[in-house]
Amino acid sequence: MKTLNKKKFISLLVVLSLGVMMVAPTTSMAAQPTVNLGTTSTFVVLAGSTITNTGTTTINGSTGADVGLSPGTVFSGRESVTISGAVHLADAVAIKAKDDLVTAYNDAAGRTPVTTIPSELGGTTLKPGTYDSADGTFQITGKLTLDAQGDPDGVFVFKTASTLKTASASNVNLINSARFCRTFWKVGSSATLGTNSHFVGHIFAMESITATTGATVQGQLMARTGAVTLDNNTITNGLCTTTPVTSPATGAATEVTTGVVKKTVTGGQLPKTSTPLYDLLFLGAALTLIGVVGWRSRKRYA
Amino acid sequence: MKLSWGKRSLVSVLSLGFMVLGIGCISWATYSMWSQPQSSYTTTVTAQVTSAPPLVSPAPDKASYPVYPAEGDNIGSLTIPALKQEFSVLQGTGDVELKKGVGHFNQSVLPGEKDNCVFSGHRETVFRQLGKLKIGDQLIVQTSAGTFTYEVSGTRIVHAEDKTVIVPTDHAVLTLTTCYPFNTPGYFPDRYIVSADLVMSNKL
């Protein structure tokens, strides 16, 4: 009998402590901030070794559509690329952007918590979050749907340890306020975008990026060490239109606060108005309860 | 089966430890809740309020704020006579500001101006009793531009992601927001909203 009681008591203790531990982390759940692009934000294509283009490629964007290369200097096929921004070949601007690319890459790579999902993204619908796969690759065959669930600041981060490959004619579809400027792909080695596919988001690749014939991209192609290869592509970047929803808690609203506010914003994010004090109270009560139960039953074990 | 003295005292020590920790947590939380932004309510403030404010008052097109407050600045005070409370209002709704009092959402207009002015506060401290406010209760805001009296016109509960609360309005409105439910640990998916219309303004 006594052994049974003791076991019961210990399991009660364990269950209570687990319960207490689970309450605490739920308090700090906050929306994920976007990845800071730094000076890379005006670039559409950024590469390390070379940029090679075949056919007619168009590079444009609402806020600068620059092409940068560093430390490499060779941009072949440049004459058939229509670039609405500037070209920076191994100059100070390109070097700075490459530095900022490393920061952005590391930022995306460090995002937690990570949800591990199957490596084939085609045919799936995902909510904002950080994703990786068990084998360290992602593929898109068919259509990937990103659903921001009405939050234009919902951030999608995809992390691969090695490759990202999209099949020909594959597509990324944004719904419910999902935005390309909140979608990031951290690629551990190289990314390949299939023929006539449509891709969305900012790609930070450790090595190289290849956009095959006719692929269109809304976002950026940025390779840290290797080449970016283009072939009859249309790549469009741009900063998000001033986000209608800024969260003061994340400091995203700083640019607005410097000016005089003459008009209330439309659709402002309600501030988080809760502190962990109640959790602390609850935790305290649970701990005290465990203590009291333990104290009262201590004689039974004598 | 008999336990040795060692095990028995281990249970006692652990139990005592849990109790001490638990009581410590409770005391600290209670202390923080009561001591953080303390209400400095004095009855003198209410004396300025007329018993029957005119329904249609000459709402100012713009209250005069010669200097626009920076984040963290104390911009004035909010008095809630119905709850016998008065809190200081700070510019911004970050963690730092909300710890010190009521925060003014910095993308909304300043108090008294002809648009939607949004104040937010923690559900555990300043706005703990917000649920007790009724339609017609007064909210008095004192700033460098003057004293503005608002009357509660409605309350509602919305989801935290609701984007219809912080929106422009065609007349002067004061909106108070806090987390809802008011007292559930770790669970606050909603926001409690109090809307109030400007009924009187004494500009300095």
Q: What is the pLDDT of residues B73-110, one digit of tens each?
A: 888 899 999 888 888 999 988 888 888 889 999 888 89
Q: Mean pLDDT over all residues of chain A?
A: 81
| Per-residue pLDDT reduced to its tens digit, B61-76 | 455 677 778 888 888 8
pLDDT at B51: 44
Closest among B179, B137, B128 to B158, alpha carbons compared: B179
Taken in order B105, B110, B116, B119, the sign of the CA dihedral is: positive
On the question of pLDDT at B20 being above 80, the answer is: yes
Q: Which residues of B touch A281 (CB under 8 A)?
A: 25-26, 29-30, 185
The ipTM assigned to this model is 0.74
How many Å lie between the alpha carbon of B182 and the closest alpha carbon of chain A? Answer: 9
Residues 97-126 of B with CB under 8 A from A: 98, 103, 105-110, 115-118, 120-125
Is this model's pTM higher than 0.80 or not? no
| Per-residue pLDDT reduced to its tens digit, A253-272 | 333 333 567 788 887 888 88
**Of A14-23, A272-281, B34-43, which has the strongest mean pLDDT?**
A272-281
Phi, psi (deg, nearest 5) at residue A256:
-80, -35
Instruction: Place A247 in a pLDDT band, splitting at 50, 70 and 90.
Output: very low
Indicate the angle between helix axes B5-35 and A277-297, nearest 10 degrees: 150
Q: Say yes or no: B95 contacts chain A, CB-CB below 8 A.
A: yes
On the question of pLDDT at A238 being above 80, the answer is: no
Q: List, in order, residues 6 or more apart from B30 with CB less than 8 Å away.
A: A281
| Per-residue pLDDT reduced to its tens digit, A79-94 | 888 888 888 988 888 9
The residue annotated as part of the active site, out of B25, B122, B159, B171, is: B122
Nearest to B16 among A257, A286, A291 (CB): A291
Q: Which has the minimum average pLDDT: A25-34, A47-56, A214-223, B41-50?
A: B41-50
Cβ distance A285 to B123 less than 8 Å, yes or no, reads no
Average confidence (pLDDT) over A26-45: 74
pLDDT at A61: 74
Q: Say yes or no: B22 contacts chain A, CB-CB below 8 A.
A: yes
Nearest to B7 among A257, A264, A301 (CB): A301
Residues 119-178 of A with CB under 8 A from B: 150-151
Q: For residue A98, is it within any domain?
A: yes
| Per-residue pLDDT reduced to its tens digit, A132-156 | 999 999 999 989 999 888 788 889 9
Q: Is B122 a catalytic residue?
A: yes
Q: For residue A79, is it within any domain?
A: yes
| Per-residue pLDDT reduced to its tens digit, A162-220 | 999 999 989 998 888 888 888 999 999 999 999 989 999 999 999 999 999 999 998 89
pLDDT at A33: 84
Range B39-203: architecture per CATH: Beta Barrel (2.40)
Q: How far out from the chain centre does Cα A3 lie? A: 52
Number of Cβ atoms within 10 Å of the Cβ of A45 = 30
On the question of pLDDT at B49 being above 70, the answer is: no
- Burial zone of A259 (CB within 10 Å; 0-12 exposed, 13-18 middle, 19+ buried): exposed
pLDDT at B29: 86
* Residue carrying the six token digits 């963690």: B95
Number of independent structural domains in chain A: 1
Domain range enclosing A167: 38-237
Q: For residue A289, is it within any domain?
A: no
Phi, psi (deg, nearest 5) at residue A282:
-65, -45
How many Å lie between the alpha carbon of B23 and the closest alpha carbon of chain A? Answer: 6
On the question of pLDDT at A130 being above 80, the answer is: yes
Q: For residue A7, is it within any domain?
A: no
- Burial zone of A268 (CB within 10 Å; 0-12 exposed, 13-18 middle, 19+ buried): buried
Cβ distance B163 to A271 less than 8 Å, yes or no, reads no
Q: Which residues of A touch B17 (CB under 8 A)?
A: 291
Q: With beta carbons less than 8 A apart as the criterion, state whether B172 and B115 touch.
A: yes
On the question of pLDDT at B45 being above 50, the answer is: no
Q: Which residues of B touch A285 (CB under 8 A)?
A: 22, 26
Residues 59-88 of B with CB under 8 A from A: 68, 70-71
Average confidence (pLDDT) over B18-36: 85
Q: How many CB pairs under 8 A join A and B?
A: 201
- Distances in Å between the Cα of A271 and the Cα atoms of A92, A156, A205, A235, A251 are 40, 22, 35, 36, 12
**Sequence letter at residue B190:** D
Q: Which has the minimum average pLDDT: A4-8, A112-116, A140-144, A149-153?
A: A4-8
Q: Is B25 a catalytic residue?
A: no
How many Å lie between the alpha carbon of B189 and the closest alpha carbon of chain A? Answer: 10
Taken in order A135, A138, A140, A145, the sign of the CA dihedral is: positive
Burial B15-36 (b: 16+ CB within 10 A, else e): beebbebbeebbeebeebbeeb
pLDDT at B2: 52
On the question of pLDDT at A111 being above 50, the answer is: yes
| Per-residue pLDDT reduced to its tens digit, B140-165 | 999 888 899 999 999 999 998 888 88
